[in-house]
Amino acid sequence: MEMKSGKWLCSSCKKPLEEGYYFETDATGYCSKACLSHKMSWDEYLAIHDDGNGDAYWTSWSRSKTS
Ligand SMILES: [Zn+2]
């Protein structure tokens, strides 16, 4: 994943990310299942995700809003 002007970009389509699939192992992110599938199969993702205990998960990078 690249950091440009404080924004995460999808590692596949380079779209700025507010939320998406994040991989702690190599700090990459993907905006959608379709983009993720360029890197690995959904089954491989699920194996890394490990039911929420693994190194990949859906997350949000949107700026913290005062609420
Ligand atoms: Zn994407």
CA of 10 to the centre of ligand 1 (A): 5
| Total structural domains within the chain | 1
Q: Does a structural domain hold residue 46? A: yes
Q: Does a structural domain hold residue 25? A: yes
Check: pTM over 0.75? Answer yes or no.
yes
| pLDDT given at position 19 | 93
* Distance separating alpha carbons of residues 63 and 49, to the nearest angstrom: 24
CA of 62 to the centre of ligand 1 (A): 16
Other beta carbons less than 10 A from residue 13's beta carbon: 13
* Three-class secondary structure assignment of 3-50: EECCEEECCCCCCEECEEEEECCCCEEECCHHHHCCCCCHHHHHHHHH
Q: Does a structural domain hold residue 65? A: no
Other beta carbons less than 10 A from residue 12's beta carbon: 18
Q: Does a structural domain hold residue 39? A: yes
Residue 9: give the domain boundaries: 3-60
Q: Does a structural domain hold residue 66? A: no
CA of 40 to the centre of ligand 1 (A): 13
Reply yes or no on whether the pLDDT at 14 is more than 90.
yes
CA of 64 to the centre of ligand 1 (A): 22
